């Protein structure tokens, strides 16, 4: 292992550049933060292969399900204000659903609701369709098609995009603001994040990366069975461009951001005096949940719980049409990391498992 900070920073940079040189992804951003500083930041490769446009630190990408942790933070802000209770039934704040009185806010946050999780690949629409898109009607159709619970709420873990879509409706009902506006005012603005680097729509088209699918990949072969052809662009240097789109529910996967913007969110999870939540509420954010039998689940109200070579961390992954991302928080070491790549199948977990230990070893 390199001895000095300069040497191991150089080692990390070389590794990322080898990933790009070996065509593992068109472009990549990797950011490592502590509570008060950016320890490492890299942006390289291409945001647009056809135009040979470099991917820069302010380039935005889709972060998909990493959005769920931001949604959880927003809900916990409402809890802190006394407007929502973690053990309130969903129906107390949003009644237009088929799941009765047993599903609570905590169940939704901790992925123990029992609500089904159909493959959400069809739950997208093109950017140009967004002004005419009716989210509420679309959600009601999804709820009608998935009206039965898979298991008793609170019994066990069961991932569900619908759970977090419903949390978005809770945010809107309780706050009187759209999810998009609530995020802008209560998350991004509080963190001092530039409006050009985080939003629920593409904030600056000239600084947004194209998403890609590798030409010679299984996903490319079967894409016609998974997504509508209107989302499929042209081949560019061995990569298939997936046209710009938005998820049908912003609260389960709609944030568009740079790794630098995500890093600001992660720093708030580490600082002594957080900006988004009180220290007491932030502690709830990281409190590992239990199933009905008392066993620990791999979830908090918003984070998944992971481990790499004996080092525990909290994380959220996000992936979809053209992008893949993951963010992690290592509280005992006081650092957090995030990687964003404009390649659906880029192995973000292996990437962070390889590089994060370089920084953990020096804390």
∠ CA 169-105-264, nearest 5°, is: 75
Q: Which residues contact 345 (CB under 8 A, 6 or more apart)?
A: 213, 214, 217, 219, 324
∠ CA 180-184-189, nearest 5°, is: 170
Confidence at residue 156, expressed as pLDDT on a 0 to 100 scale: 96
Neighbouring CB atoms inside 10 A of 133's CB total 12
Burial class from Cβ neighbours inside 10 Å (0-12, 13-18, 19+) for residue 143 reads: middle
| Residues 248, 245: Cα–Cα separation, whole Å | 9
Per-residue burial over 273-300, b if 16 or more Cβ lie within 10 Å, else e, is: ebebbeeebbebbeeebeeeeeeebebb
Neighbouring CB atoms inside 10 A of 1's CB total 9
- Assign residue 222 the CATH number of its domain: 3.40.710.10
Q: Which residues contact 91 (CB under 8 A, 6 or more apart)?
A: 97, 100, 101, 103
Token pair for residue 71?
A: 């949604």
Domain that holds residue 234: 5-360
| Residues 212, 236: Cα–Cα separation, whole Å | 9
* Long-range pairs of 175-184 with CB within 8 A, sequence gap ≥ 24: 175/78, 175/83, 179/71, 179/74, 179/250, 179/251, 179/254, 180/250, 180/254, 182/74, 183/70, 183/74, 183/250, 183/255
Residues in the chain: 363
Q: Are 208 and 340 in contact (CB under 8 A)?
A: no
Number of folded domains that form the chain:
1
Q: Are 95 and 88 in contact (CB under 8 A)?
A: no
pLDDT values of the chain reduced to their tens digit, one per residue, 363 residues: 445 677 878 889 999 999 999 999 999 999 999 999 999 999 999 999 999 999 999 999 999 999 999 999 999 999 999 999 999 999 999 999 999 999 999 999 999 999 999 988 789 999 999 999 999 999 999 999 999 999 999 999 999 999 999 999 999 999 999 999 999 999 999 999 999 999 999 999 999 999 999 875 555 544 555 677 898 899 999 999 999 999 999 999 999 999 999 999 999 999 999 999 999 999 999 999 999 999 999 999 999 999 998 899 999 999 998 999 999 999 999 999 999 999 999 999 999 999 999 899 887
Confidence at residue 8, expressed as pLDDT on a 0 to 100 scale: 76
| Residues 222, 225: Cα–Cα separation, whole Å | 6
| pTM score | 0.95
∠ CA 23-25-30, nearest 5°, is: 125
Confidence at residue 7, expressed as pLDDT on a 0 to 100 scale: 80
Closest Cα partner for 24 from 44, 40, 42? 44
Q: Decide: helix, strand or coil at residue 216.
A: coil
Token pair for residue 319?
A: 């992936």
């Amino acid at each position: 292992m390199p001895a000095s900070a300069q040497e191991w920073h150089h080692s990390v940079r070389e590794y990322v550049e080898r990933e790009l040189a070996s065509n593992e992804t068109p472009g990549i951003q990797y950011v490592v933060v502590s509570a008060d500083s950016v320890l490492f930041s890299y942006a390289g490769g291409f945001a647009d292969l056809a135009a040979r446009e470099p991917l820069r630190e302010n380039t935005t990408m889709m972060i998909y399900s990493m959005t769920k942790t931001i949604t959880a933070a927003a809900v916990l802000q409402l809890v802190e204000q006394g407007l929502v209770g973690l053990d309130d039934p969903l129906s107390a704040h949003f009644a237009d659903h088929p799941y009765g009185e047993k599903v609570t806010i905590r169940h939704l946050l901790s992925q123990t609701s029992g609500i089904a999780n159909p493959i959400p690949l069809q739950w997208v629409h093109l950017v140009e369709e967004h002004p005419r898109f009716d989210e509420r009607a679309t959600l009601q159709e999804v709820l009608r098609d998935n009206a039965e619970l898979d298991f008793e709420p609170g019994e066990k873990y069961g991932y569900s995009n619908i759970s977090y879509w419903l949390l978005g409706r809770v945010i809107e009902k309780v706050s009187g603001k759209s999810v998009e506006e609530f995020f802008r005012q209560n998350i991004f603005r509080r963190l001092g994040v530039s409006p050009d680097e985080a939003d629920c729509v593409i904030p600056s088209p000239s600084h947004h990366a194209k998403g890609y699918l590798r030409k010679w990949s299984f996903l490319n072969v079967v894409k016609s069975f998974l997504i509508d052809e209107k989302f499929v662009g042209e081949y560019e240097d061995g990569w298939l461009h997936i046209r710009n789109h938005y998820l049908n529910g912003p609260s389960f996967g709609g944030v568009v951001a740079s790794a630098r913007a995500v890093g600001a969110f992660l720093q708030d999870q580490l600082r002594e005096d957080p900006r988004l939540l009180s220290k007491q509420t932030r502690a709830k954010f990281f409190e590992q949940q239990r199933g009905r039998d008392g066993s620990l689940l791999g979830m908090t109200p918003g984070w998944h719980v992971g481990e790499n070579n004996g080092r525990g961390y909290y994380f959220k992954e996000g992936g979809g049409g053209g992008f893949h991302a993951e963010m992690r928080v290592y509280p005992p070491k006081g650092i957090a990391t995030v990687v964003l790549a404009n390649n659906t199948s880029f192995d973000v977990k292996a990437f962070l498992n390889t590089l994060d230990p370089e920084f953990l070893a020096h804390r």
